[in-house]
Structure 1
Amino acid sequence: MPQPQLPHEEWTLVESPEALLQAADQLANGLGPVGVDAERASGYTYFSQAYLVQMSRRGAGTFVFDPTLIDDFDPLAQAIDDDEWILHSAIADLDCLQEIGLTPPSLFDTELSARLLGMERVGLGAVVNELLGVELAKAHSASDWSKRPLPHDWLEYAALDVSYLPDLRDAMHDKLVDAEKLDIASQEFEAVLHAPPKEKPLEPWRKISGLGRVKNRVGLSIARELWIARDQFAQSVDTAPGRLLPDSAIVAASLQQPRSMSELAKNKDFKGRASHSELRRWWLAILRGKKSDDLPSLRTAERSAFPHHRNWERKKPEAHQRLVTARAALEAESERLNIPLENLLKPIMLRELAWAPPEVISDEAVALQLEKLGARPWQRDATSQIIARSFVETQ
């Protein structure tokens, strides 16, 4: 294993195009994979852009880039366009990195590696502590990174978050080799890197927390219009929707169905940063909800070709039995491989198979159907025989 990159405490803040060119040159002349991280302002801003980008490489050092002061990251992208990038939970940061022109040519995901290795805790601090014996402070993980100027201790936290990634990657690589899981991990990394955009829900407003308390269509219509009004306002001021009007306030108004703006204002549960300063906005949304000719269904619209699996036992008992039997068998295999069940096979894939299995059940037929559903080769090898055998048992 290469010698650890030391000292980890040294880092450089990059705040200009000129400084970026110098950092890109240093990173291009470094050695081995590049540790990469990004800080967003989730929970504070509406949009999920990167407010900091951190990179670290042996022989080059650690750099913290400020995207609010740098328009063109192309020189940096070109400097490391042939090198492996190390990220912890890449799925969380790839979008915001790609927005500024930074896309990894190849990937090593330390969080995903921790899952495949069956580690109990997979957060960055936990795995760095377990594998490198270093304790990382997580004091600023939920901070508002859109704030400027950023305090020095925040910047230092961000730099340390990325500076250990090259060492962590090497330690995890060795463990994956020892566990004979390196090929599995490589397939998973490729899948993350080339994953299609996440499909948007048909009715995103149904995600309102506590909406299950609203039992009538007019109330749901009010909730929908309030959600739309909140979302549009949040976009216009680039603020997280829940900071302007929390879900609990939307549910309270939907249950109350107020008859006037003053009645809404008197609702003690209708509170939030913009609940009263934007009262007219919310009242007009409530009126639209009350008067709508397009009242929403009491049930969520589904894209899936089959109903929620909690109803299978009543609607299609044979599918329910296939699902239960196969899931139990996969759980046993998950324990044997020391890989979480959701990583062994996505639950939605098993449900699709159980609802509509191949006409003639065999290992090959199940594997083919899994391939069509997007299962990786290692997943098909690990699960197709188990699923086929379970389905046959229920016939």
Structure 2
Amino acid sequence: MIPPSIHLYKNDLPDNLNLGNIIAIDTETMGLNPHRDRLCLVQISAGDGKAHLVQIIPRALGGNGYDCPNLKRLLEDPVVVKLMHFARFDVAILQHTLGIDITNVKCTKIASKLVRTYTDRHGLAALCRDLLSIELSKQQQTSDWGTAILSEEQKNYAAADVLYLHTLWEKLEKMLIRENRLTLAEHCFAFIPARAKLDLLGYEEPDIFSHR
């Protein structure tokens, strides 16, 4: 396997960086509560073997905080398809933290659950192993992403979370078409931004769609 090309940026994407109309996105945070835990890193790939990591540095630590106009412009662009794995969380943290609205999302986790009903393994590592024969290391999953200087291990881990999403989506899309569930998947994807807003409002429990 050719080692990925990883580009790390402080505070924002560089000007005039063209990543095309289909990008893979992931985030790293200090925890899983968007109201409590800050956004530390946004990873993006155009599916070309390159990963672009944007380190979000608080003003208290000498950074620009959430003043990242190039990143926001890309994420808000309705023409750009955003590939994510467990988009429900990533959309929520990005919308809440950056104050933006995200549309045109596709989620490989939802796609997997819709079409890979023969398994209960729908995590990114399982998808890469089962569909791409690639083993992902998850050792850095619980590391400190708020540190000022990211280790090489952290950067490699963060990059891996976006480098394979294009290929995964291509395979999952073919399976969704084969099983006549692509339209259903698209309806689920369109609901993700609203589902994220419901989560931010505290509607994870009780579920407003349940009978209770």
Provide the residue aligned with 2:60 in structure 1.
none
Report the Cα offset of residue 43 of structure 1.
Answer: 7.1
Partners of 1:94 and 1:128 in 2: CA distance: 22
Provide the residue aligned with 1:25 in structure 2.
17
Report the Cα offset of residue 167 of structure 1.
Answer: 1.0
Report the Cα offset of residue 86 of structure 1.
Answer: 0.6
Report the Cα offset of residue 160 of structure 1.
Answer: 1.1
TM-score with structure 2 setting the length: 0.81
From the superposition, tell whether residues 8 and 170 of structure 1 become closer, same or farther in structure 2 (CA, over 3 Å): farther
Matched, 1:13 2:8: yes
**Aligned-pair Cα RMSD in Å:** 2.8
Partners of 2:98 and 2:161 in 1: CA distance: 20
Q: 1:240-264: CA deviations, max 9, x gaps?
A: xxxxxxxxxxxxxxxxxxxxxxxxx
Partners of 1:114 and 1:151 in 2: CA distance: 31
Report the Cα offset of residue 85 of structure 1.
Answer: 0.1
Report the Cα offset of residue 93 of structure 1.
Answer: 1.5
From the superposition, tell whether residues 107 and 134 of structure 1 become closer, same or farther in structure 2 (CA, over 3 Å): same
Provide the residue aligned with 1:314 in structure 2.
none
Q: Runs ≥4 in structure 1, deviation > 6 angstroms?
A: 43-46
Report the Cα offset of residue 45 of structure 1.
Answer: 10
Partners of 2:35 and 2:142 in 1: CA distance: 15
C-alpha contact 2:8 2:54 (8 A) present in aligned 1: yes
Matched, 1:76 2:68: no
Larger radius of gyration: 1
- Aligned mate of 1:35, from 6, 24, 41: 24
Matched, 1:111 2:109: yes
Provide the residue aligned with 1:200 in structure 2.
202
TM-score with structure 1 setting the length: 0.46
Higher strand share: 2
Report the Cα offset of residue 77 of structure 1.
Answer: 3.1
Report the Cα offset of residue 62 of structure 1.
Answer: 1.5
Report the Cα offset of residue 79 of structure 1.
Answer: 3.9
From the superposition, tell whether residues 155 and 102 of structure 1 become closer, same or farther in structure 2 (CA, over 3 Å): farther
Q: Structure 1: which 5+ runs fail to align?
A: 1-5, 202-302, 305-345, 353-395
From the superposition, tell whether residues 127 and 87 of structure 1 become closer, same or farther in structure 2 (CA, over 3 Å): same
From the superposition, tell whether residues 134 and 14 of structure 1 become closer, same or farther in structure 2 (CA, over 3 Å): same
How many residues end up aligned between the 2 structures? 198
Higher relative contact order (Cα pairs below 8 Å, separated by 6+ residues): 2
C-alpha contact 1:84 1:107 (8 A) present in aligned 2: yes
From the superposition, tell whether residues 33 and 8 of structure 1 become closer, same or farther in structure 2 (CA, over 3 Å): farther
Report the Cα offset of residue 348 of structure 1.
Answer: 5.5
C-alpha contact 1:14 1:64 (8 A) present in aligned 2: yes
Partners of 2:101 and 2:160 in 1: CA distance: 22
Partners of 2:93 and 2:177 in 1: CA distance: 31
Partner of 1:26: helix, strand, or coil?
coil
Provide the residue aligned with 1:93 in structure 2.
90
Partners of 1:191 and 1:185 in 2: CA distance: 10
C-alpha contact 1:106 1:193 (8 A) present in aligned 2: no
AA partner of residue 83 (structure 2) = I
AA partner of residue 21 (structure 1) = P
Partners of 1:191 and 1:159 in 2: CA distance: 27
Q: 1:294-341: CA deviations, max 9, x gaps?
A: xxxxxxxxx98xxxxxxxxxxxxxxxxxxxxxxxxxxxxxxxxxxxxx
Counting aligned pairs with the same residue, the percent is 23
Q: 1:346-386: CA deviations, max 9, x gaps?
A: 8953x35xxxxxxxxxxxxxxxxxxxxxxxxxxxxxxxxxx
Higher helix share: 1
C-alpha contact 1:26 1:60 (8 A) present in aligned 2: no
From the superposition, tell whether residues 43 and 134 of structure 1 become closer, same or farther in structure 2 (CA, over 3 Å): same
Report the Cα offset of residue 8 of structure 1.
Answer: 5.7
Partners of 1:138 and 1:41 in 2: CA distance: 16
C-alpha contact 2:11 2:56 (8 A) present in aligned 1: no
